[in-house]
Chains A and B, each alone.
Chain A
């Protein structure tokens, strides 16, 4: 029963992982055989390639910008919906709609909204008398534009938060209220601890997702004609950089090295996240 899975695992995961590790130490352009070069790829990436650290910075900024903002927005909306307002179910569904869009469509839609001369955002700003920046063509504003787009799509996290909030036992809230605790104290003592597992889950998934982001950056870049990584590499996400190196210039060795570095970082951050979680995540067991 698990024969297909085992084959798939070996063929498409374990095997390729080991092969790509080997490839990261070679110079390989697919046309000729791989040529062993030791750590030269890693050396080039880490010390001489201008695009590498830029893409790390861009991705880090993207993750640090979009994940906390997105989680905050998702939590805020979830808390609003958790109150007994009417049409709650409908609201939940409607707020979730943006998540249905694939990242490519989001990228294209927001490239249109952020279009410097004809886009909706700058036209709106013009009505208010503000001369909006050249968003998709501006090195300083292209990434914030993508971050805003990402926050818009945090409906998934919102739904999970809402479920988490609704699991929060009612009687604890009432007990705290009876004890005279105000709204904020009730939040910190009762709601937050029960929420921490979901926050942790959303945080982990959000960070990993941000570090692997590709579709929206690619679509954004294709839509605004300023080159693949955006103006002055402003939206050159790490995976976009990897794709360009691998499938536009066929530097397979470099790309494999980039992939492994990414894996190492994701692994490290996830591990750190798990470790730190013991400090602030309330388990049923430890509560």
Chain B
């Protein structure tokens, strides 16, 4: 490294410390026993770390169950997104059926739409179907191709595939569906992974949907459970921030794990969305 870059390195490190400090503080608070918290002090390292905080946090407010609920909803959402977006993206990329451009244009405008425009009529719809306190409102739209971002991303990717391969398969008598599943999808793996990760995170972190549709404690997903936890866990001595932070850390862990696993392709995926 050239010596004149040393100041830059230092600035970067300082900036990084400032940036990661809150995360470190979150982790540190989550391991502190409550009386250490009350005493004050800014030590990052807890004097008597208490991993039991996590157990306590998970037991309160059905947090552990919220974990399961979030996982359930997220899995169904990802499957639905893939099931509807992959064929759609492929169709928009390669098939020239009539009316596709209209549908595609409609899809583009949904990217700009605030979700709040449609929530009330959709709420009414689900209410009339008796589905208000279920997971249907959260999962069903995914299966009907409402993730415009995913469709768009997949379309862009499918467009780059060589037509000759498809043509050859068609000549061999393969149906469009077969071409899609056996040839196109395997070739599009990076895009599919990116879509899956985004869909997972979107569902895992969603507050708005569960807030509107879910009521009973047993059905809560993690973001709502966390917010309820903060709002309703105050005791005589105040809010148990150490437990709240433990719950927050638990909420974030899957996202961090997923990120760590797909780091390279994920980050380059984001970079590419900005460029294209």
Contact = CB atoms under 8 A, between A and B. Distances in A.
A and B touch in the complex (CB under 8 A): yes
B120 interface: yes
Nearest to A167: B275
A7 interface: yes
Interface in A88-140: 91-98, 100-105, 108-113, 115, 118, 120, 123-124, 127
A8 B146 contact: yes
A164 B273 CA distance: 11
Interface of B: 1-2, 5, 8-9, 11-12, 15-16, 19-20, 22-23, 25-26, 29, 37-38, 40-42, 83-85, 87-88, 90-92, 95, 97, 100, 103, 106-107, 110, 112-125, 127, 141, 143-146, 151, 176-177, 180, 204-205, 207-208, 211-212, 223, 226-228, 230-231, 234, 238-239, 241, 244-245, 248, 251-252, 255-256, 259, 263, 267-268, 270-275
A145 interface: no
Contact of B259 (A1, A100, A252, A256): A100
A276 interface: no
A189 interface: no
Interface in A237-286: 239, 242-243, 246-247, 252, 255-256, 258-260, 262-263, 266-267, 270
Given A2-B103, A152-B19, A239-B116, A92 B267 contact: yes
A7 B142 CA distance: 12
Nearest to B111: A208
A127 B42 contact: yes
3 nearest CB pairs, A to B: A8-B144, A102-B205, A5-B145
B144 A266 contact: no
A119 B145 CA distance: 44
Given A9-B106, A110-B22, A219-B227, 8 more contacts: A2-B88, A2-B91, A7-B144, A13-B118, A77-B12, A112-B29, A120-B25, A246-B116
